[in-house]
Amino acid sequence: MFTNKSKFLLDNPIQMNYGLAITDVDGDGSFELFVAGFNGPNLVLKYNGQGLVNIADEILADAGRQAIGVAAGDIDGDGREEIYVLNTDTFAGRKGFGDCLFDYRDGKWVDLFSLPENQNAINFTAGRSVVCVDRKGTGQYGFFVANYGGPMRLYELNEKGHLVDVAPEVGLDLTTGGRSVISLPLVSDHMDIFAVNEHGRNFLFRNQGDGTFKEMAQMAGIDDPDQNGRGLVALDADGDGRFDLVYGNWLGPHRMYLQGVPGHFKDVAPPDMAIPSPIRTVISADFDNDGYEELFFNNMGEPNRLFAYRAGTWKAIDTGEAWEPDGAGTGAAVGDLDEDGQLTLFIAHGEATVQPITLYSPPENGHAWFRVLPLTERGAPARGSIVTLIGEQQTQRRVIDAGSGYLCQMEPIAHFGLGENPVIKQIEVRWPDGKIAKISSPKANQLIRVPYPSA
């Protein structure tokens, strides 16, 4: 499937990297790749027409803070995403490095946790993943942190503009070995939260509709108490219109939980997908633009795996040059930074050794595509929105990524491959507050930005 195109990474220092996130860092309307540097600086890689170059300033680079997880979201409602960087110098419990929450103010980046009014809110518990959550459907996001050995946190801004942890008051402050987390309308019409954990059961926090949550993983059949979760993704794996869950367990059986009766899941992972591995990030994306998503499993010290939906079943297919049998994979992300309609796979490496980032592209095959970027009322990416594409032969469904499981976050765009049938009957966008917009018969091979409905 994949060809190595890492030569286009023009700035690619050999260092330990972990999480990756795709967001519009410089505010120009295009997206960049934010790289969490662990024993080196954070990077911001931007396409300049020839390749990807690092544009991180000294504040975002934040050298020496040991970053691992990263996610973006508009926490202050100004129409531009803030960037939460999860730092850690220990495996679990109390840590010495606080997290950072970068906000672009008055022409420069500012770490909100460095401000005097936010000092008491700093997260000093070792965490693994972070995701943005619009729990009330207002278009303003909070950042949920999956901590390890301390309570989970949900950071929001209060009426004074100060950072506060609202997890205790909304039912999210549980303690476990936090690893991965995603947020989307999974079992309700609002942004729910699913957290995959280590040395303890998973958490499924169902949004009650008033911004509070109720934990129900055991009831849903996805608590998996004896395994140690890592990469996690939600997709409509069987084409029935409901989102399902795929995640990896570290050296344990990997899962594909299909959602049959709403709110209830069953593991149907085929044997070759379930084979245990030292797994990190799991990605779902239509890399070859054939109209069906593939599943990429990024492993550490073992070959990566790729699965495709063929004739009604999920099967292992050739990974190509992204096999990486000796890769120390720590995180992966997908996006279209050069805006050619073809997704690119980025893989970060670290922990076991220092290795540069790698970049892979699928083959060019002439397949048509369509991309949708929903916006909040204030103009930021509407992460957590659901986009449905109705074609002549099939209906496809995507969620705008709010954070993709382990350490990473994908581009905030619904990418659809159309294969050799480029006819689109309708696009429907559903925002986290339930507002809906419909677009009839758009032309293929374009990116459209969909504003929040005015009425």
pLDDT tens digits along 415-445 = 999 999 899 999 999 999 999 999 999 999 9
What confidence category does residue 47 fall into, taking pLDDT thresholds of 50, 70 and 90?
very high
Contact 202, 248 (CB under 8 A): no
Q: Taking the CA of residue 53 as centre, how many other CA atoms within 13 Å lie in the half-sphere pointing to its CB?
A: 6
Task: Write the CA distances from 61 to 35, 66, 128, integer angstroms.
Answer: 9, 11, 19
pTM (2 d.p.)? 0.97
Secondary structure element (H or E) that encloses residue 273, with its range: helix 271-274
Architecture of domain 3-361: 7 Propeller (2.130)
> Is 128 in contact with 137 (CB distance < 8 Å)?
no
In the chain, the amino acid numbered 334 is V
Strand residue runs (E) in 125-275: 127-133, 142-151, 153-157, 163-165, 175-184, 192-198, 203-207, 213-215, 229-235, 244-249, 255-259, 265-267
Partners of 409 in beta bridges: 21
- Residue whose entry in the numeric block shows the structure tokens 């005097």: 116
Token pair for residue 74?
């508009």
Opening angle at CA 379, ends 105 and 193, nearest 5: 90
Name the 3-class secondary structure at 320. Answer: strand
Torsion of CA 319, 345, 428, 375, to 10 degrees: 170
Pairing of strands 447-450, 368-374: parallel
Q: Mean pLDDT in the chain? A: 96
Q: Specify the pLDDT at position 405.
A: 76
pLDDT of residue 179: 95
Lowest mean pLDDT among 93-97, 203-207, 447-451: 93-97
Residues 6+ apart with CB under 8 A from 8: 50, 51, 52, 359
- Confidence category of residue 393, pLDDT binned at 50, 70, 90: confident
Cβ neighbours for 203, distance < 8 A, ≥ 6 positions apart = 152, 174, 176, 193, 194, 195, 197, 215, 217
pLDDT reported for residue 400: 98
User: How far is residue 312's CA from residue 307's CA, in Å, rounded to a whole number?
Assistant: 13
Count of positions (residues) in the chain: 455
pLDDT recorded at residue 454? 87
pLDDT at 403 over 90: yes
For residue 455, pLDDT over 80 is answered with no
φ, ψ dihedrals at 333, nearest 5°: -150, 160
pLDDT at res. 421 = 87
**C-alpha gyration radius of the chain:** 20
Q: Domain locations in the chain?
A: 3-361
Band the pLDDT of 381: cuts 50, 70, 90.
very high
d(CA 352, CA 374): 38
Comparison of pLDDT for 364 and 180, the residue scoring more? 180
Task: Note the pLDDT of residue 336.
Answer: 97
Contact 259, 242 (CB under 8 A): yes
